[in-house]
Amino acid sequence: MQPVLNRYKTFFYRAGDLTAFMLRFFGEVVKPPYEWREIFYQCYLVGYKSTFLIGLTSFIMGAVLAIQPRPSMAAFGAVSLIPGMISVSVIREIGPVITAIICCGKVGSRMGAELGSMRVTEQIDAMEVSAINPYRYLVVTRTIATTLMVPLLAILADLIALYGGFLAMNIHDKTSLRHFFVAAMHHLEFIDMFPAIIKTFFFGFVIGIIGCYKGYNARRGTESVGVAANSAVVAGSLAVFIIDMIAAQITDLL
């Protein structure tokens, strides 16, 4: 019984600690001066460095969405609905979620490992004793970068996935790009796009804050760096799915 109780105690302790870590972000982010240089550098790392991977993945995703349902849709004579089906599924759900999961693996793990390594090699302590607030310099900048960049990457992923879908459709059915996009947009409403974009800000925020939390609180020792990177991906992905579920519920109510 005691080990089970201890496990619950540890879980609630960590949840509380993570909440305090997140709340500290809101306290620090409103206080200038800002580390603009570091924010731009992190935006470059999160945004530009992830572009190719997200572009390729979303292109494949869009193409697969066009190819796989075609036989079934053709049986019902509903091939013309494929662009709309792709646009709704990509923009509402698949684009933002796939982007967030890729960012979690690529960016969250990097942040966990980087900050974990800095903790282990006393670089964070060195900042602290130099009277530099390491939370502001390391955590705030990275979390701002992910919060701003993940939505942009998700929009890019949506566009590339639609283009992938268009090219895949052209394997069997000749259609122009203009016609495809008109058909795709015809099935979309403002309510499809707005919550999808809003939730990507939350995805970006949790990816950044969880990655930083895991690294910032790494225990001493090189093993903890790997643990921080790994748990940043696991916890970040889980948080993305939980936010997605909440967003789906809220959208459903609207």
Q: Which residues are at the interface with another protein (CB under 8 A)?
A: 114, 117-118, 121-123, 125-126, 128-133
Distance of closest approach, residue 125 Cβ to another protein, in angstroms: 6
Distance of closest approach, residue 230 Cβ to another protein, in angstroms: 21
Joined together, the tokens standing for residue 3 give: 């080990």
Distance of closest approach, residue 123 Cβ to another protein, in angstroms: 5
Using the minimum distance from each CB to another protein, give the nearer residue, 131 or 254.
131
Spatial separation of the C-alpha atoms in residues 80 and 85, rounded to whole Å: 10
CB 228 within 8 A of CB 115: yes
Spatial separation of the C-alpha atoms in residues 203 and 197, rounded to whole Å: 10
185 CB neighbour count, 10 Å cutoff: 14
Whether omega for the bond prior to residue 69 falls within 30 degrees of 0, making it cis, is no
CB 150 within 8 A of CB 203: yes
Distance of closest approach, residue 129 Cβ to another protein, in angstroms: 4
Positive or negative, the CA dihedral 13, 17, 19, 20 is: positive
Using the minimum distance from each CB to another protein, give the nearer residue, 34 or 194.
34
Using the minimum distance from each CB to another protein, give the nearer residue, 155 or 218.
218
Using the minimum distance from each CB to another protein, give the nearer residue, 58 or 117.
117
Using the minimum distance from each CB to another protein, give the nearer residue, 23 or 245.
23
Nearest residue to 204 (alpha-carbon basis) of 56, 16, 25: 25
Using the minimum distance from each CB to another protein, give the nearer residue, 125 or 223.
125
CA neighbours within 13 Å on the CB side: how many for 178?
Answer: 0
Q: What's the CA angle centered on 208, arms 204 and 211, to 5 degrees?
A: 135
Q: What are residue 31's phi and psi, to 5 degrees?
A: -100, 110
